[in-house]
Structure 1
Amino acid sequence: MGSKRQTVVLFLAALTVVLSSPLINELQPGEEWPQRNSVRQPVADDQTEQTLTEDFSTDDPAPAAVVEDAIIVAKTIERDHEPKKIDYSGSQVWQVSTTKSGARQVIGRLRRRNLISTWGGNQSSVDILIKPNVVENITRVFKRESIDYNVVIEDLQKRINEENPPLDNDEIELQDRRGHRMTWKQYHRLEDIYGFMDYLAKTYPSIISVKSIGKSFEGRDLKILRISNGKSDNKAVFIDGGIHAREWISPATVTYFIYQFAEYFDVESDDIKGIDWYFMPVVNPDGYEYTHTVDRLWRKNRKPGYRACTGTDLNRNFGHHWGGKGASNSPCSEIYRGSNAFSEPETLALSEFIKSSAANFSAYVTYHSYGQYMLYPWGYDNAVPPDYKDLDNLGKKMAEAISKTGGSQYQVGSSSGLLYPAAGGSDDWAKSQGIKYSYTIELSDTGRYGFVLPTSFIVPVAKENLAGLRVLASQVIKE
């Protein structure tokens, strides 16, 4: 017991150091971040401790030390007992045609029985993940129902092993000289991403500041970086990534935008300089880290739920038409909507920040993968907002810029119309808050690699989407 108590004390000491460390350049010199009122923290520590303490009855003989240990364990999610890394050897990804009548119903039944999980899809096909022990069964079902399919990935673990190779020695040496570890030749862990953001705030304090707007469920910072020339009449654009943990190309692309604007701000166009840019590269830090350490294909956050199922789909947890079509009430589902709107600390912190800010947000862009889509509201139902033509026209211009730069073809349309209804999305909520140009951009590819896009795609994908972002900036400045 003594050893255990010593470990707890050491952990608390380390935790105190982390939580009490000052933010890097939290306020831009001579100017606070604009806000109408203070941003609420998602869950106060005293509320958490009170709830946990109340779980022990008054006549429970457990000593106070046991209660204290339980609180520590709950807050740290027993990080020292991480489960074994999941191996996807032999798992396959199929692209299944849904043009035949009844095909979607068959796929739905298989998914509800946990025989398959869905990756991406469109109006004519669905990509599904199949574990090796059911490949023969699924093959028989599709043959019996005359459903066509193609095997896109024959061994998923092999593809995962090849996705994110280590850097060579020259690149590692360059990292040390540069002062940060970001390269865009690799998918980086959260520590590297946050270190890069802090480095920029220290290096360019006149235009860049970094702020934590809250904590994730497991206690990680939810960091936003702002790039601004400090002019009070600037319009603002909010960009985020990493809502879904497994979509690694999303944070990589958003950090590439940050790098370009930060390093070359002096020579940027007036459109870029005239906007206050807010970047949140990783909305779901707990899930993102979990994809690196345990399950490469984890989608949700890491908040424990009911029936021993973990996680909420953060992109079904926002408050505009929460709980509607395309969102599940089952905690075990990959599209679980949560117990209520903004039940998750990550979505609550993001929404409170935007609502509390005095920044003049004219656009909200959230980057996901995959499929190469430029999507605008509404997602909750097959409907569009009154100004959908403006959204459609700008989306097509952005898609054209992407195509001219890198050759990728992006389809443009409403989320529900082009794909399927999905209530509780962040873009719908942003639009409901009066942010005119609200988009979800599904990055590359169209299914060959899916969520395990090799690192060689990072720069090409980021560059072409930067061209699209410049088109959006031009439109924002015009209005």
Structure 2
Amino acid sequence: MRGIIQGVLWCTIWCYCMASSQANLYKGYKVYELAASKARSANLDFMLSQLANNRTYYDVYTSGSPAHIMVHPDAQPQFVDLMNEQAVNYKIINNDVGHTLRNHYEKNQKLRNLYPFEGRLGTERYYTHDEITQYIENLAQLYPDRVFIRTVGRTYEGRWLKTIKITNGDRRANKNVILVDGGFHAREWISPAAAVYAIGELVENYETYADLLLDYDWVILPVVNADGYVYTHLNEDTRMWRKTRQPSSESCIGTDPNRNFDFHWNEEGASEDPCAETYAGPKAFSEPEAVVVRDLIKSYAKVGKMYLTLHSYGPYILYPWGWTLDVPDTVEDLHEVAQAGYEAMFNATGVEYEIGPSTEVLYVAAGASDDYAFNAGFPISFTMELPPGGQHLFDPPASDIDGLVKEAWIGILAMARKVVEKYPLA
């Protein structure tokens, strides 16, 4: 099997030299869904790990069965041969990624014209980093007794990162804290959308959620990787960018900010290759965006009861550990809170989030923010991966936003209420 895979990988040099520049970077790319029998699942995981090393022609979205992988047009014949040789079932779920991204980009442009930013944010379209920042600043002006904005740092390209602190206005000190962030990975637009929806619910529907703000404050950073997020809004060719925008080598840009935390940094599940999607960085906390989240976690560690980082795609609610197959001694507490979110969403919409330790449910991911927060003192620390959407999975159409973020909020709400119950104010 190794020989077959190496044959597929060696075509890279020839393919790269023969590939011509295109106006549409992803024209002809396909996304495949792969499934293997239980007996062959280990072989599938091995193949995917090998193909992931060939970053020019393969982008592995998820492992396991089913798994998803995007394949360059020039590598598709060899890829199909490999799947057939190894008896892996496959189907094409996106026949032309470039066409899909172009179509979505044009629709998003039209929606921006149809729904211009007027101070409030809805779920009609995806909003820019500047619009999101302006929105939370507007909320602070409208609700000065309950909402507070804090500038917590700057990105590599100089964009200010700001948190919104949502309270009930009683100004009591040392309340418990729920810390939420979104937008770690640039292409996961539904993540900031979910964070923004949570902000709107807590602030503008305060009476409904007064119980969650009695002894708790919420601190939310809607977009961690603002440089990358802005970059993905430029055109369809940049839409799938994942990392930060700080140069990582002479020829490559960006670090995976969710592999950049100084807790089992640069171990399994992270890459030392500066061009890889999961590059851990030249050192822990090399990325200013990761430093911002680190400092937030450390500043709230004594009063923080839940850390929640929003990603896509899943649907998963993942808890520590992500660096090892071992689980924490308090795994029952983690599972109890995750189960509350699962049941609430399933009862409301029928969606089934898979819950469990990150490494067991998804894959190994050392150096991630949820492990760091848990180790720092947050008793509940989750990565919530929202469901996929659209043909490209990472690119839910705007028409899906409303349903996805409302569904996620149901789960977040249930988990928060369980946390309030389990961890009352001392």
What's the TM-score, normalizing by structure 2?
0.87
1:215 pairs with 2:157: no
> After the TM superposition, which residues 177-196 of structure 1 pair with which residues of structure 2 at under 5 Å, given as runs?
179-180=119-120, 182-196=121-135
> Judging changes above 3 Å, is the alpha-carbon distance between structure 1 residues 369 and 335 closer, same or farther for their aligned structure 2 residues?
same
CA contact (8 A) 2:301 2:378 kept: no
In the alignment, residue 386 of structure 2 is paired with which amino acid? L
Unaligned runs of 5+ in 2: 1-20
Shift of residue 450 of structure 1?
Answer: 1.1
Q: Distance in 1 between matches of 2:365 and 2:24?
A: 28
d(CA) in 2 for partners of 1:112 and 1:85? 26
| Other-structure match for 2:229 | 288
Deviation string, structure 1 residues 363-408 (Cα, Å, up to 9, x no partner): 0000100010010000001011110011011101111111122221
Aligned letter for 1:376?
Y
2:321 is aligned to 378
Q: Deviations over 1:254-288 (max 9, x none)?
A: 00000111111134331244320101110000011
Given residue 145 of structure 2, which amino acid in structure 1 is its aligned partner? S
Give deviations 1:286-338, integer Å, cap 9, x for gaps: 01111111511111101101241111001101111111111111111100001
How far is the alpha carbon of 1:107 from its aligned partner? Answer: 2.7
The DSSP-based 3-state class of the residue aligned with 2:153 is strand
Matches of 2:113 and 2:161, distance apart in 1:
32
Residue 347 of structure 2 aligns to a residue whose secondary structure is helix
Asked if 2 retains the 8 angstrom alpha-carbon contact of 1:245 and 1:288, the reply is: yes
Higher-Rg structure is 1
Report the equivalent of 1:241: 182
Give the AA of the match of 2:245: R
Matched, 1:206 2:145: yes
Quote the offset at 1:136 in angstroms: 2.0
Counterpart of 2:242 in structure 1 is 299
CA distance in 1, matches of 2:141, 2:288: 28
SS at match of 1:167: helix
Match in the other structure for 2:6: none
Say which is worse superposed, 462-471 or 211-220, in terms of deviation: 462-471
Q: Distance in 2 between matches of 1:262 and 1:162?
A: 34
Aligned residues of 1:374 and 1:442 also touching (Cα < 8 A): yes
**Alpha carbons 1:272, 1:470 under 8 Å: kept:** no
Q: Figure out how many residues of one structure are paired with residues of the other and give that number.
A: 391
Match of 1:428 in 2: 371
What does residue 48 of structure 1 align with? none
Output aligned runs, 1:402-421, within 5 Å. 402-421=345-364
Amino acid aligned to 1:266: E
Distance 1:191 1:141, change over 3 A: same
Identify which of 405, 409, 412 aligns with 1:466. Answer: 409
Structure-1 residue corresponding to 2:61 = 119
In 2, Cα distance between the equivalents of 1:347 and 1:210?
Answer: 19
Identity %: 34
Q: Secondary structure at the match of 1:239?
A: strand
1:167 aligned partner: 111
How well do the aligned residues superpose, as a CA RMSD in angstroms?
Answer: 2.1
Match of 2:28 in 1: 90
> Residue type matched to 1:330 in 2?
D
Q: Which amino acid aligns with 2:111?
A: L
Offset, 1:161: 3.2
In the alignment, which residue of structure 2 is the partner of 1:32?
Answer: none
Instruction: Kindly provide the CA deviation profile for residues 198-243 of structure 1, in whole angstroms up to 9, marking residues without a partner as x.
Output: 1111111111111111110111111111101222252110000100
1:95-114 correspondence runs (5 A): 95-99=33-37, 100=40, 102-114=43-55
- Structure 1, residues 44-74: CA drift from partner, whole Å, max 9, x if none? xxxxxxxxxxxxxxxxxxxxxxxxxxxxxxx
Name the TM-score, length of structure 1 as normaliser: 0.77
Secondary structure class of the residue paired with 1:268? helix
